[in-house]
Amino acid sequence: MGCFVYIFQGILNNLAQVHSFDLGSNNAIMTPSVSGSFIPSYWAKFYASTDTIVIAGQGWNYNSTTGSSNEATYFLAFGANEAATSPRAVGMADGFVLNNHAMDVVNNVFRVGTTIRNSRMVRPVTEPVGGVTVGSTVFSEPPESSTENYIILLDLGTGNNSTMDELGRLKLGKPNEVFTALRFFDNIAYAVTYERRDPLYVLDLSNPRDPQEKAALDISGFSSYLHSMNADNSLLLAIGQDSTDDGTILGVQITVFDVTNPSKPFAAVRRVIEDDLGTYSYTPSLDDFKATRFAGDRLIIPMDIYPSWTDQGKQGKEFHGFITYFVNATHIEQECTIPHQTAKDSGSFETDECFYCAFLQPRSMIFDGNLMTMNHHFVRSNDMNTCKEEWSLDLLIKDDSGGCCNAYYY
């Protein structure tokens, strides 16, 4: 089954639709099965399992008592049966959902993590003065914390057109922290919140009516990408950024968390790519999980390293491309560096890199022991064992003057 989700903008025409196609059909023309519903949202995140599809649309919820609006997420659940879908349940939760990994369905229970952003409320009021109605403004006291983070468990109900009833919820995080990562694995879940340091939470969701926090590991920095490394999900590969105690970002870090004992998680091994305050490192893996590949014990991630001003233009100081690492429960070792940039003999980089007419999202694939990487306007293939380049393809498109139609400056 293939699915496409459409969200049409507008106040009166916010319609979410799921179009399903039977990809195994022998018919020359595939006829879609269409399910949909109105939703008070202008964009949405998407979750799918073998039998359930959930559209989470971010919008606003108006409180007539206070005259204020707060962020809310509206959920549309669809049942998936082979090549057809059908409306199943609707629900709502205050706050916003971080990403697709912040949602999960197990045993007819929808689990979701939301962050509520609190603010000082401003409410206009009117009152008569000398027979004339004048306006004034009432300010509420600022909240103790600017955020609240919750794991919420909702019953999907039975049959079609049900309402999601809340079974339980768990509040996480210190004041002003937000979710930066969430992963659900059956009865256990892992969450990361961050403002200045990174608490990794281990959660027990076996009882939907009473979710429990098993442990919280406080370390520097934060994680954005979490990936299970073994069958029982007790080893976690995390990609994030390290920081100082005051929250200053230092650089990309890779961490392996050992949660064999859920009550005593620990960081088994960590590697910071750049820890110099003058140097900046970034990986699209922090936001785009498809940019990351973990195959066996090989981690392949795109990386951008920007040197300090004093090192600008020096050979070997700046890097844009992919880095591969050998990763297990005790080691993180760098293996290959695959540049996706044009270098002059002096070591500085060409300024005619294209980001519009020829720009590829960072992706990697493995074919017969060779690693093919795509980024910027290059496609390269390297032997994963020797790191030797097998071939490369430059997709740079020149304009009529021989230059790049839109220059990208690193």
Tens of pLDDT, residue by residue over 147-160, are 999 999 999 988 77
* Closest among 197, 217, 71 to 146, alpha carbons compared: 71
pLDDT at 231 over 70: yes
The pLDDT-based confidence of 374 (bands split at 50, 70, 90) is very high
Domains of the chain are: 1-116+148-172 (no CATH), 175-243+252-272 (2.40.10)
* 317 C-beta neighbours (distance < 10 Å), count: 16
Residue 261's pLDDT is what? 96
Task: Return the closest-CA partner of residue 337 out of 354, 363, 314, 316.
Answer: 316
Residue 124 pLDDT:
52
Is the pLDDT at 356 greater than 70? The verdict is no
72-76, 248-252, 297-301: range with lowest mean pLDDT: 248-252
Q: Does residue 346 contact residue 324 with C-beta atoms inside 8 Å?
A: no
Please say whether the beta carbons of 172 and 184 come within 8 A. Answer: no
**Arithmetic mean of pLDDT, 183-204:** 92
**Which pLDDT value is given to residue 280?**
84
Q: What is the pLDDT of residues 34-43, one digit of tens each?
A: 888 888 887 8
- Cβ contact 320:337 at 8 Å: no
Residue tagged 């695959």 (tokens): 338
The Cα 259–Cα 235 span in angstroms is: 6
Which pLDDT belongs to residue 408?
Answer: 46
What per-residue confidence (pLDDT) applies to 28?
Answer: 67
pLDDT greater than 70 at residue 44: yes
Amino acid 196 reads R
Backbone angles phi, psi at 169, to 5 degrees: -150, 155
pLDDT of 103 strictly over 80:
yes
H helices of 226-326, in order, are none
Over the chain, what is the mean pLDDT? 83
User: What is the average pLDDT across 208-236?
Assistant: 94
| Of 69-83, 170-184, 351-365, the least confident | 351-365
Confidence of residue 20 (pLDDT cuts 50, 70, 90): confident
Residues 252 and 281: beta-carbon distance below 8 Å? yes
Give 249's pLDDT tier (boundaries 50, 70, 90).
confident
Mean pLDDT of 133-146: 58
Whether 119 shows a pLDDT value over 80: the answer reads: no
Residue 206's pLDDT band, with cuts at 50, 70 and 90, is: very high
Taking CA 122 as the corner, what is the angle to CA 118 and CA 123, rounded to the nearest 5 degrees? 125
Mean pLDDT across 211-235? 94
Two tokens, residue 190: 């892992």
> How far is 396 from 388, CA to CA, in rounded Å?
23
User: Higher-confidence residue: 27 or 72?
Assistant: 72
Global pTM? 0.82
Q: What is the DSSP string of 322-364?
A: EEEEEE-SS-EEEEEEEE-S-B-TTS-B-S-EESSSS-EEEEE
Q: Is the pLDDT of residue 123 over 80?
A: no
**Predicted confidence band of residue 269 (pLDDT cuts 50, 70, 90):** very high
The H helix count followed by the E strand count for the chain is: 0, 34
- What pLDDT, on the 0 to 100 scale, is given for residue 306? 84
pLDDT, residue 77, reads: 93
What pLDDT, on a 0 to 100 scale, did the predictor assign at position 133? 46
- CB environment 18-44: b (16+ within 10 A), e (fewer): bebebeeeeeeeeeebebbbebebeeb
Least confident of 211-225, 323-337, 383-397: 383-397
Whole-Å CA distances, 339 to 5, 128, 253, 304, 381: 36, 71, 20, 10, 11
Q: Which two tokens stand for residue 279?
A: 């140097």
Which range (82-86, 165-169, 314-318) has the least confidence? 314-318
pLDDT at 210: 97
Q: What is the percentage of the chain residues whose pLDDT exceeds 90?
A: 50
| pLDDT number for residue 311 | 60
pLDDT at 277 (0 to 100): 67
Contact 52, 105 (CB under 8 A): yes
- Spatial contact of 57 and 73, defined as CB atoms under 8 Å apart: yes
pLDDT grade, residue 350 (50/70/90)?
Answer: very low
